[in-house]
C-alpha cells in the first residue's frame, strides 16, 4: 500500500509547489515594486526573499515532478544540490543588502513612505504561508524529502518575515514611525542570516557527498 500512498503524496506535493511558485512570483513582484516606490528597505528585502523562495519552490516542483515521472534518484539529487547552491549565494547577498541599506537608511534618516500595497501583501502572506507549510508537512510525512523539509522551513520563515514586515510597514503607515521599518528589517536579518548559514552548510554537504561518489 505504501507505494500508491507515496505517489499520491508526491502528486499533492507537486500541486502545493505550483501554488507556492505562483504565490511567490506575485509576492516578489508586488513587494519589490512597493518597496522601490516607497523607498522601503523592509519591503524590498521581503520581496528579494520571495525571489529566493520562488527559486526553491521551482526547484522542488522540478524535483517532485521528476520523481512522479519516474526519474532516477541521482538526477533528483543533482537538481536539489544545484538549487541549494543558488539559494545560499542569494541569501548571503540579501543579508548584506539588509545590513548595508538598513544602516545607511538609519544614519541618513531616509524616511520610507507609507505603503498600503506593502501592508496588503504582507498581510495576505501571514495568512497563506502557515497553511501552505502545514499542507506540505502532511505530504512530507510520506515523501520524507530533506529538500521539502527545507522548503517547509522557508515557508515558516516567510510567515515570520511577513509578520515583521506587516508590523514595520503598519507602524510607519498608521503612526508615522518611519524608523520602525528599519528596526523590523534588521530583525528580519536574524531569520535571513540563519537561512543563509543553513543553505551554505547544505551546499557544502552536497559537495562533500558528490566528492565521495566520484
CATH number of the domain bearing residue 86:
1.20.1510
**Cα–Cα distance, 17 to 61 (Å, whole number):** 5
Q: Of 38-42, 71-75, 108-112, 156-160, which range is least confident? A: 71-75
pLDDT number for residue 1: 43
Confidence of residue 95 (pLDDT cuts 50, 70, 90): confident
- Do the Cβ atoms of 75 and 151 come closer than 8 Å? no
pLDDT number for residue 197: 83
Integer angstrom CA distances of residue 90 from 43, 97, 154: 17, 10, 14
Reading the block at residue 81, the C-alpha cell is: 544540490
Q: Of 72-86, 94-108, 116-130, which range is least confident? A: 72-86
In the chain, the number of structural domains is 1
Q: Is the pLDDT of residue 122 over 50?
A: yes
Q: What range defines the domain where residue 116 resides? A: 2-213
Give the Cα-Cα-Cα angle 3, 57, 102 (nearest 5 degrees).
150
- pLDDT tens for each residue of 16-35: 999 999 999 999 999 999 99
Rounded mean pLDDT, 134-140: 92
**Cα–Cα distance, 210 to 100 (Å, whole number):** 35
pLDDT number for residue 207: 62
- Do the Cβ atoms of 154 and 195 come closer than 8 Å? yes
Amino acid at each position: 500500500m505504501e507505494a500508491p500512498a507515496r505517489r499520491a503524496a508526491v502528486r499533492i506535493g507537486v500541486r502545493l509547489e505550483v501554488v507556492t511558485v505562483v504565490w511567490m512570483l506575485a509576492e516578489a513582484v508586488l513587494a519589490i515594486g512597493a518597496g522601490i516606490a516607497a523607498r522601503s528597505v523592509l519591503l524590498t528585502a521581503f520581496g528579494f526573499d520571495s525571489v529566493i523562495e520562488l527559486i526553491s519552490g521551482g526547484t522542488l516542483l522540478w524535483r517532485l515532478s521528476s520523481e512522479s515521472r519516474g526519474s532516477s534518484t541521482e538526477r533528483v539529487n543533482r537538481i536539489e544540490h544545484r538549487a541549494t547552491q543558488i539559494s545560499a549565494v542569494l541569501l548571503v547577498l540579501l543579508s548584506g543588502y539588509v545590513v548595508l541599506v538598513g544602516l545607511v537608511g538609519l544614519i541618513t534618516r531616509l524616511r520610507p513612505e507609507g505603503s498600503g500595497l506593502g501592508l496588503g501583501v504582507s498581510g495576505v502572506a501571514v495568512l497563506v504561508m502557515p497553511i501552505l507549510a502545514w499542507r506540505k508537512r502532511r505530504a512530507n510525512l510520506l515523501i520524507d524529502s530533506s529538500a521539502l523539509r527545507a522548503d517547509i522551513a522557508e515557508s515558516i520563515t516567510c510567515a515570520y518575515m511577513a509578520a515583521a514586515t506587516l508590523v514595520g510597514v503598519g507602524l510607519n503607515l498608521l503612526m508615522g514611525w518611519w524608523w520602525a521599518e528599519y528596526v523590523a528589517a534588521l530583525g528580519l536579518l536574524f531569520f535571513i542570516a540563519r537561512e543563509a548559514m543553513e543553505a551554505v552548510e547544505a551546499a557544502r554537504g552536497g559537495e562533500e557527498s558528490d566528492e565521495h561518489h566520484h
